[in-house]
Amino acid sequence: LLRLPAVAGCGSWPIGLEVIEGGDAKRNELVLFTLSQVGLPYRWGGHSPTGGFDCSGLVVYAFQQSLQVNVPRTSIAQSRIGREIPNGELRSGDLVFFNTMRQRFSHVGIYVGDSRFVHAPAANERVRLDRLDAPYWAGRFDGARRLIA
């Protein structure tokens, strides 16, 4: 893992950098851990399996527990780290972002391969696996970021 200095304030991350070395092995660790969270409840502001997850809380928890890496807490802040990735070049472990609240980067999930991603969708739902090419998600796709080099 790379240790990167904070810039522009307490706890912020450098913009545009890949932050984790380890390639396929690290991507696989993250994906397997994230898939193990499928079925857990959604809770706004949630960031643990006992209390439930919101979308960005799931990302924070998955990166911390599987890779011991802290990422920013909100989807908007998460959209500013790592390296921007074109949709056709997605790899497992990339973060995928959506406009679900009439605001760019208002939703985030973790890409797991084969056009699928894991996310915590909304109140009264559970962490689940969805397809990027499903009409709802394809029409709201905002982009992707790679944090694992």
pLDDT digits (tens, 9 = 90+) for 48-102: 999 999 999 999 999 999 999 999 999 999 999 999 998 899 999 999 999 999 8
CB 132 within 8 A of CB 141: yes
Catalytic residue among 27, 119, 145, 146: 119
Query: Which pLDDT band holds residue 18 (cuts at 50, 70, 90)?
Result: low
Active site (annotated) includes residue 47:
no
**Active-site entry in 55, 69, 147, 148:** 55
Q: Which of 104, 102, 141 has its CA nearest to residue 119?
A: 141
Calculate mean pLDDT across residues 99-119: 96
Q: Is 107 a catalytic residue?
A: yes
Catalytic residue among 26, 27, 47, 107: 107
User: Which value, to the nearest 10 degrees, does the dihedral of the CA atoms of residues 64, 69, 70, 75 take?
Assistant: -80
pTM: 0.88
pLDDT value of residue 6: 35
Report residue 19's pLDDT band, with 50, 70 and 90 as the boundaries: low
- pLDDT over 90 at 45, yes or no: yes
55 catalytically annotated:
yes
